[in-house]
Structure 1
Amino acid sequence: MTIKILASLAMAATLFSACSDNATTPPPSKAEQCAAGLSNDCVLGTWSIGGPTVMRTVGTDVVYIIDPSHNLEASPATLKFYVDENQTNTFEFANSPLGKADCKTATGKTYGLWDVVGTSLHLRARTGNDCMAVNEATIPVEISVVGGQVTMTLKQIFFMEPEMKQSDAVEKNTATEVYTFVTAN
């Protein structure tokens, strides 16, 4: 009987210490989640964007800057990736009130679905997409981690397309969307 009691106490102590070890381990940071590149864990959360990024030539150098005519840095647009109550990968894009697009949705928001496909994001805008020329695309993504700051670059415009409607074809085709991680959901 004593051996059974001691064995039970030993097992309980082991379980208790295992639980307490897990409780003190902090969750991984976004930089840690994104260190290996694009993944579901890396994408989840809220990201901000100051406007479409365009290529400019300065002397002999090529630089990438936020398009000055669509600079939203004073009140950035946000892109939230989350898993909804049905376990569906969902996004919500909220455009900036500073947006200069000719066409604006009634709510200023676009909702849809997302999936990570290798090193790309497959995006399907489902609601609030009436101003978008393309509602579904698989876009190559580059993740950058510098210190604790994480950026995600969509290698072509998708959410910012309504902002770029009046731009010339070359600028639209070379524009990217650079998002900075803000917070976990």
Structure 2
Amino acid sequence: MTIKILAPLAIAASLFTACSETTTPPPTKADQCAAGLSTDCLIGTWSINGPTVAKTVGNDVVYVIDQSHDLSASPATLKFYIDPQKKTNTFEFTNSSLSRADCITPTGKTYGTWDILGTSIHLYAKIGNECMEKSDVTLPAVVAVEAGKVSMTLQGLFFMEPEMKQADLVDKQNTTEVYTFVSAD
């Protein structure tokens, strides 16, 4: 009789233990980006405060937002996702309402596709690219994680190129696009 009572108790105890185990939380964006550029790292929404220009101050190189195109009060956003219907890597760039570009698309948005090629991102703007000098580029991308915040620097101009149309060639060549991760949506 004792065995008949102990067996159900042992089964109940093992079920209770299995149900009470904690699940591992999903990785953070900092975790996903710790090893550098990857699809998991890229997916989500990123913001940009404007084109970042390298300036020489004394013997140092300082990276600053171009003051005439400072979008920090209303940053532009760049969303990377996988289109569920077409199964393609897709992006949506939404320009800032503060944009001072000479040419702004009617919707303020640019859509296209993306691929990771080693440590670079290949971007192909398909819709809303009429203001862009190039609609197809491959740019080196550097992902950095600092104190849990994730940033990505595109080494060159693409989305911010219309902001810099009137800049001199040296500034254009020394300009990068620095994005900060916002959300995983």
The TM-score, its normalising length taken from structure 1, stands at 0.88
CA positional deviation for 1:59: 2.2
Give the residue type in structure 2 aligned to 1:72.
L
Larger radius of gyration between Structure 1 and Structure 2: 2
Q: Report deviation, 1:58.
A: 1.7
What SS does the corresponding residue of 1:103 show, helix, strand or coil? Answer: coil
Instruction: Tell me the amino acid that sits aligned with residue 123 of structure 1.
Output: L
- Quote the residue 1:62 is aligned against: 61
Per-residue deviation, 1:27: 0.8
2:89 corresponds in structure 1 to: 89
**Which residue of structure 1 lines up, in the alignment, with residue 78 of structure 2?**
79
1:68-102 CA deviation, whole Å, 9 max, x = no partner? 11100000000000011222110000000100000
Determine the structure 1 residue equivalent to 2:177: 177
Give the distance between the partners of 2:20 and 2:125, measured in 1 at CA: 43
1: CA distance, partners of 2:104 / 2:20: 51
SS of 1:126's equivalent in the other structure is strand
**Distance in 2 of aligned mates of 1:117 and 1:58:** 34
Provide closer, same or farther for how the CA distance between residues 164 and 20 of structure 1 changes in structure 2, counting only shifts above 3 A.
Answer: farther
CA distance in 1, matches of 2:173, 2:58: 22
Query: Which residue in the other structure is 1:135 paired with?
Result: 135
Are 1:32 and 2:31 matched, yes or no? yes
- In structure 2, what is the Cα distance between the partners aligned to 1:75 and 1:58? 28
Per the normalisation by structure 2, the TM-score is 0.88
Moved over 2 A (4+): none
Task: Please give the alpha-carbon distance, in whole angstroms, between the structure 1 residues aligned to 2:20 and 2:106.
Answer: 49
Is 1:157–2:144 an aligned residue pair?
no
Alignment of 1:100-119 (within 5 A): 100-119=100-119
